[in-house]
Amino acid sequence: DIQMTQSPSSLSASVGDRVTITCRASQTIGKFLIWYQQKPGKAPQLLIYAASSLQSGVPSRFSGTASGTDFTLTISGLQPEDSATYYCQQSYSTPYTFGQGTKLEIK
């Protein structure tokens, strides 16, 4: 199975800040990297697919990049509603696997 390692596991930032979450794959996955946002008690919501393509309706302050097996999710200009847990997922091969999540708290 492909292992997805996210860092940090949690972070705290202020409104207006720029935050970056990293996800590393245990082997090459091309650009088959997905980012989801999950708020407490809710289902995950798709943010970014193909490492950097923004899902329709997602604010442009969210962006994704890829470099080899390292992927980043950046939120520029943090908003209170961005408080959530963020997961990466590889869609390169089955079994599809997720990172352990990054909990983002807004100060």
Partner 1 sequence: QLQLQESGPGLVEPSETLSLTCTVSGGSISSDYWSWIRQPPGKALEWIGYIYYSGRSNINPSLKSRLTVSVDTSKNQFSLRLSSVTAADTAVYYCARGPYGGMHDAFDIWGQGTKVTVSS
**20 makes contact with partner 1 (CB under 8 A):** no
Answer for which of 27, 53, 61, 79 binds partner 1 (CB under 8 A) is 53
> Which of 34, 66, 75, 104 forms a contact with partner 1 (CB under 8 A)?
34
Which residues are CB-contacts of 73 (< 8 A; sequence separation ≥ 6)? 20, 21, 23, 35, 47, 48, 62, 63, 64, 86, 88
Contact status: 89 vs partner 1 (CB under 8 A): yes
Helix (H) or strand (E) holding 63, with range, is strand 62-67
Structure tokens at 32: 């088959």
Query: Which residues of the chain form contacts with partner 1 (CB under 8 A)?
Result: 31-32, 34, 36, 42-46, 49-50, 53, 55, 87, 89, 91, 94-101
